[in-house]
Amino acid sequence: MSMAWEVVIGLEVHVQLNTRSKIFCACSTAFGAEPNAHTCPVCLAMPGALPVLNEAAVDKAIAFGLAIGAELNHRSVFARKNYFYPDLPKGYQISQYEIPIVGRGHLDVLLPDGIEKRINITRAHLEEDAGKSLHEAYAGESGIDLNRAGTPLLEIVSEPDMRSAVEAVAYLKKLHALVRYLDISDGNMQEGSFRCDANVSLRRPSEPFGTRAEIKNLNSFRFLEKAISYEILRQQDILEAGGKVVQETRLFDANHGETRSMRSKEEANDYRYFPDPDLLPLQLEEKRIERVRVALPELPDARKARFIEQYGLPVYDAAVLTAARELADYYEIVATGQDAKLAANWVMGELLGALNKAGLEIDSCPVAAEELRQLLARIADQTISGKIAKEIFEILFAEGGSVDAIIEARGLRQITDSSAIVAMIDEIIQKNPQQAADYRAGKEKLFGFFVGQVMKASQGKANPDQVNALLRERLQAQ
C-alpha cells in the first residue's frame, strides 16, 4: 500500500434549527406527530400559497455566524432549487444560492493529539427541509409525510480543509457542540436534526484536488469515520489500479459499513436556480445583529479560556471539558467548592471513561453531577480514601444512589483512629518477624509490603497517610 496519498475532506452539514414554527409557515416543527398532521396550504404547496420568513430562523443563523467569526451578508437572497421528488411538494426547495446569510468563518478544532487546527467555513445558508418518504408501509407504494417539509435548516459548508477521518470527526463534534451551546438546534442525530454529507477525494501531496465523491446519509460520528475510512480505501484501490474516481453521490450503508453509488439520482441534475420571486431580499439591520450578539451564550472558546483562568486547568483539560456544553456544565457543578484539578481528573478520567465504556453521552449520564461533587467532598473531608471513592463511583454509575448512603450502608468510612491503626500494624509486624527484620536491615522495598498488608487488613479503609506515618514509626521502634 502506498502511503503517498493525501486525503482531502470537506463537510456539508444540515442543522435543523429549533424554532417553534416552520421557516415559511406557522406549522409546528415538533418531531413525531401523526403523518401530515403538521401541514398547511403553504408547506403542502397548495396552489396560491406563499412563503413568509420566520424571524427566529434568521436570528439563529445570525447567532451561528457571529459564533464562527463570519462575515454576515447584510443583504442575502432566497433562490429556488428546482427538482422533482415526492417529498419536495413545490417541486423546488427554497434555499440560498448566490448570496447566503452567513459568509466566510472558521472553527478551531482540538485534535486528539492535542494540536489545534483551524477549519475554514465557506458559508452557511438558510433553507427548508423536505418531507419523508416511507417505503415499508405499503406494497409497491411509498407514503409521503410532509410534517418535516419546511423545517428550517442551516446548511454549513466547510472548506476542504480536513486531512483525515479523525479531523473530520473532530470538526463535526465541535460543530455539534457549538450549535447546542448556541441553542440553535437540539442536535439530535437520530431524529435527523444534525446531518452530515462528506466530500472525499485523494491526491498526491501538493497536487491539485482529485475528483471527489459525495457521501450522504451520515447520521452519527461513527458513521462519518467509517464511511470516510471505507471511501479512502475504495478510492485508493481505484487510483492505484490506474483508474479514475467518478464524481458521484454515494450513500453510506451502515449495515455493511460501505458506501454505494446512488445511480437513480445520477441523471444530470440541472437545478435551474433562480431568485425566488415570492420572497424579497433579506436585509439584516445592525440592530438585529446587535440584539443577537448581546444574547449569545458563553461560547466554547471563551469558556475554555475561563476554565484555564478561573480553575487553573491545563489547556488540554479545559478544551476537553468545554467540548460539549453539557460536559462543561457538569464539570462546573462538580468543581464547585472542590479542588478544581481533582474535579477535572475525575470528570475526564473516571466519568468519561465509564461513559465511553457504556456507550453513553454526557446528557444521559447515570451519575448526577451533584453526587460526584459530594464524592469529592468526602475525599476532602477524609471520610473516604481516593481508592474507596473509585469503588463508590462504580456503584453510583451501575446502581445509582447517593454517596453518603453508599458509604454508610457498606461501611466504607475511612479508619482515622490512630490506636486502631497501630493495633493492626503491631499485629502484622508480629506475624511477619522475618520481613520486619529484613526491613530494619535496610531492605527499604519491604515497606510497600507492609502497607499492602495493613490496607488489606483494614479492607482498604485505613487512612493511607496515617498508615504510612504510623507504620514507619512502629517498624523503627521495634
Partner 1 sequence: MVKRIAQLSRIALPDNELPQMARQLERIFSLVAEMQSVPTEGVEPMAHPLDLRQPLRPDELRQECLSREDLMASAPRAQDGLFLVPKVIE
Partner 2 sequence: MELHQMGVAELSAGLRNKDFSAVELSSTLLQRLRQAQDSLNACITISEEPGLEQARAADQRRAQGDSAPLLGIPLAHKDIFCTRGQRTTCGSKMLAEFVSPYDATVVQRFQKAGMVTLGKLNMDEFAMGSSNETSFFGAVRNPWDLTRVPGGSSGGSAAALAARLLPAATGTDTGGSIRQPAAFCGVTGLKPTYGRVSRYGMIAFASSLDQGGPMARSAADCALLMDVMAGHDPLDSTSHPQAAGRFSAALGRSVKGLRIGVPEEFFGEGLDPEVAQAVQEAIQWYVREGAEIRPVHLPNNVHAVSTYYVLAPAEASSNLSRFDGIRYSHRSGSAVDLQDLYLLSRYEGFGPEVRRRILVGSYVLSAGYYDAYYRKAQQLRALIREDFRRAFAEVDVIMGPTTPTPAFALGAKSADPVAMYLADIYTIAVNLAGIPALSLPCGFSKAGLPIGLQIMGNYFADELILGLGDAYQRDSDWHQQEPGWEEQ
Contact string (CB under 8 A) for partner 1, positions 71-90, x = contact = ------xx-----x-x----
Q: Which of 41, 243, 297, 337 contacts partner 2 by CB under 8 A?
A: 41
Q: Is 34 in the site for partner 2 (CB under 8 A)?
A: no
In terms of C-beta distances under 8 Å and separation of at least 24 residues, what long-range contacts does 256-265 make, across chains too?
257/226, 257/230, 258/230, 259/213, 259/215, 259/227, 259/230, 259/231, 259/234, 262/216
User: Among residues 367, 391, 397, which one has the least CA distance to residue 379?
Assistant: 391
- 457 binds partner 1 per the rule CB under 8 A: no
* Residue 155 interacting partner from Mg ion, Zn ion, partner 2, none (CB closer than 5 to 8 Å by kind): Mg ion
In angstroms, what is the minimal distance from the CB of 36 to partner 1?
Answer: 5
Residue with nearest beta carbon to Mg ion: 155
Q: What is the DSSP string of 238-302?
A: HHHTT-----EEEEEETTTTEEEE-GGGGS------EE-TTSPPEE--HHHHHHHHHHPPPPHHH
Q: How far apart are CA 10 and CA 338, in angstroms?
A: 42
- Angle, helices 418-431 vs 464-477, to 10°: value is 50
Q: Does 286 contact partner 1 by CB under 8 A? A: no
Which of 221, 116, 205, 120 has the alpha carbon at shortest distance from 161? 120
Could you tell me if residue 28 is left (phi over 0), alpha (psi between -120 and 50 degrees) or otherwise beta? beta
- For the chain, state the CA radius of gyration: 30
Q: Write out the E strands in 263-398.
A: 274-275, 282-283
Residues numbered 411 to 450 that lie near partner 1 (CB under 8 A) are none
> Which residues in 344-383 contact partner 2 (CB under 8 A)?
none
Residues in contact with Zn ion, shown as a per-residue x/- string from 42 to 61 under the rule CB under 5 A: xx------------------
Applying CB under 5 A, which of residues 15, 25, 213, 245 lies at the interface with Zn ion? 25
| Structure-derived torsion over alpha carbons of residues 315, 317, 319, 321, reported in degrees to the nearest 10 | -150
Residues 118-177 binding partner 2 (CB under 8 A) are: 144
Stretch touching Zn ion by CB under 5 A, among 39-47, 169-177, 182-190, 293-301? 39-47
Query: Residues 27, 168, 224, 375: which binds Zn ion (CB under 5 A)?
Result: 27
The interface with partner 1 within residues 258-277 (CB under 8 A) comprises 262, 264-265, 270, 272, 275, 277
What is the sign, positive or negative, of the torsion defined by CA atoms of 416, 418, 423, 427?
positive
Q: Per CB under 8 A, which of residues 177..206 are in contact with partner 1?
A: none
Contact 202, 232 (CB under 8 A): yes
Sole binder of partner 2 in the list 118, 272, 293, 410 (CB under 8 A): 272
Pairing of strands 248-253, 213-218: parallel
149: contact with Zn ion by CB under 5 A: no
| Site mask for partner 2 (CB under 8 A), range 91-110, x = bound | xx------------------
Question: Using CB distances below 5 to 8 A depending on partner kind, what does residue 476 bind out of Mg ion, partner 2, partner 1, none?
Answer: none
Distance CA 127, CA 18 (A): 14
**Residue pointed to by grid coordinates 417529498:** 87
- For Zn ion, the binding residues (CB under 5 A) are 25, 27, 40, 42-43
- For partner 2, the binding residues (CB under 8 A) are 41, 44-53, 80, 82, 84, 86, 89-92, 144, 270, 272-274, 277-280
- For partner 1, the binding residues (CB under 8 A) are 19-21, 25-28, 34-37, 39-41, 44, 46, 52-58, 77-78, 84, 86, 133-135, 137-138, 140-146, 251, 262, 264-265, 270, 272, 275, 277, 279-283
